[in-house]
Structure 1
Amino acid sequence: MTQRYGAGIWHFATYVDRYATDGYGEPRTILDAIALAGQVPDLSVVDLNYPFFGGDFSNEQIGAGLEQAGLDVIGITPEIYTRVFAKGSFTNPDPGVRRLAHELCTEAAGVVRHFGADYVKLWPGQDGWDYPFQVDHGALWKNSLDGVGQLAQENPDLKFVIEYKPREPRVHMSFDSVARTLLGIEKIGLPNVGILLDFGHALFGGESPADAAQLAIDYGRLFGMDVNDNLRGWDDDMIAGSVHPIELFEFFHVLRRNGWEGVWQLDQFPFREDSVQAATWAIDFLKRVERGLDRLDMDALAQAQARHDAVAAGRIAQDALFGVD
Structure 2
Amino acid sequence: MSNKQVYGAGIWHFATYVDRYATDGYGEPRSVIDAIDLAGQVRDLSVVDLNYPFFGGEFTNEQVKEALDRNNLSVIGITPEMYTREFAKGAFTNPDPGVRRRANELINEAADVVRFFGADYVKLWPGQDGWDYPFQVDHGALWKNSLDGVGQLASENPDLKFVIEYKPREPRVHMSFDSVSRTLLGIEKIGLPNVGILLDFGHALFGGESPADSAQLAIDYGRLFGMDVNDNLRQWDDDMVAGTVHPIELFEFFYTLRKNNWEGVWQLDQFPFREDSVQAANHAIDFLKAADRGLEKLDFAAIQAAQDNHDSLTALALAQQALFSSYGESA
Give TM-score scaled by structure 1 length.
0.99
Query: Deviation string for 1:28-80 (max 9, x for gaps)?
Result: 00000000000001000000000000001000000000001110000000000
2: distance between equivalents of 1:312 and 1:227?
A: 26
Q: Structure 2: which amino acid aligns with 1:174?
A: S
Unaligned runs of 5+ in 1: none
Q: Structure 1: which amino acid aligns with 2:277?
A: S
1:234 and 2:236 are equivalent in the alignment: yes
Query: Helix, strand or coil: the match of 1:32?
Result: helix
Return the offset for 1:297.
1.0
What is the aligned partner in structure 2 of residue 186 from structure 1? 188
Q: Structure 2: which amino acid aligns with 1:229?
A: D
Alignment map for 1:6-25 (pairs within 5 Å): 6-25=8-27
2:62 to 56, 60, 63: 60
Misfit runs of 4+, over 6 Å: none
Query: Deviation string for 1:232-261 (max 9, x for gaps)?
Result: 000000000000000000000000000000
1:92 and 2:94 are equivalent in the alignment: yes
Alignment map for 1:40-79 (pairs within 5 Å): 40-79=42-81
Alignment map for 1:214-293 (pairs within 5 Å): 214-293=216-295
What is the aligned partner in structure 2 of residue 103 from structure 1? 105
What is the aligned partner in structure 2 of residue 296 from structure 1? 298
Q: Structure 2: which amino acid aligns with 1:227?
A: V
Return the offset for 1:183.
0.2
What is the aligned partner in structure 2 of residue 161 from structure 1? 163
Return the offset for 1:299.
1.4
Return the offset for 1:215.
0.1
2: distance between equivalents of 1:228 and 1:200?
A: 6
Q: Structure 1: which amino acid aligns with 2:128?
A: Q
Q: Structure 2: which amino acid aligns with 1:247?
A: E
Give TM-score scaled by structure 2 length.
0.98
Larger CA deviation: 295-304 vs 94-103 = 295-304
1: distance between equivalents of 2:71 and 2:272?
A: 20
Q: What value does the CA root-mean-square deviation take over the aligned residues? A: 0.6
Unaligned runs of 5+ in 2: none
Return the offset for 1:300.
1.2
2: distance between equivalents of 1:259 and 1:299?
A: 15
Query: Deviation string for 1:106-160 (max 9, x for gaps)?
Result: 0000000000000000000000000000000000000000000000000000000
Return the offset for 1:172.
0.3
Q: Structure 1: which amino acid aligns with 2:191?
A: G
Matched length? 325
Return the offset for 1:20.
0.3
